[in-house]
Amino acid sequence: MNNAVLDPLVSEFHTEGDATRHDQWFRAQVEQSMNDSRPSLPHDEAMARVQQLLEEKRKARAGT
């Protein structure tokens, strides 16, 4: 594995090895998602769930 240091203006990774490991991880995540047999969740519903979770966490932090 090549651990040559990468230019931060060109890559968000410190080394080529970091970039390679991230690429492998990302591709595995995509494959896992594509093979997931659960029904898809519409974007609007997913965002509503996230907003609800964030609001619950804000309230918990505020002590209400």
pLDDT in tens, 25-56: 999 999 999 999 999 999 999 999 999 999 99
Answer whether residue 57 is part of any domain: yes
Question: Would you state the pLDDT for residue 64?
Answer: 64
Tell me the pLDDT band of 6, cut-offs 50, 70 and 90: low
Answer whether residue 26 is part of any domain: yes
What's the number of CA atoms in the CB half-sphere (13 Å) around residue 20? 8
* Average pLDDT value for residue range 14-24: 91
Q: How large a percentage of the chain has pLDDT more than 90?
A: 67
User: How many structural domains does the chain have?
Assistant: 1
Answer whether residue 11 is part of any domain: no
Q: Which two tokens stand for residue 35?
A: 């093979």
Answer whether residue 5 is part of any domain: no
- Rg over alpha carbons for the chain, rounded to the nearest Å, is 19
How far apart CA 12 and CA 16 sit, in angstroms, is 10
Whether the predicted model's global pTM rises above the 0.85 cut: no
Query: What residues make up the domain containing 32?
Result: 16-62
pLDDT at 14 over 80: yes
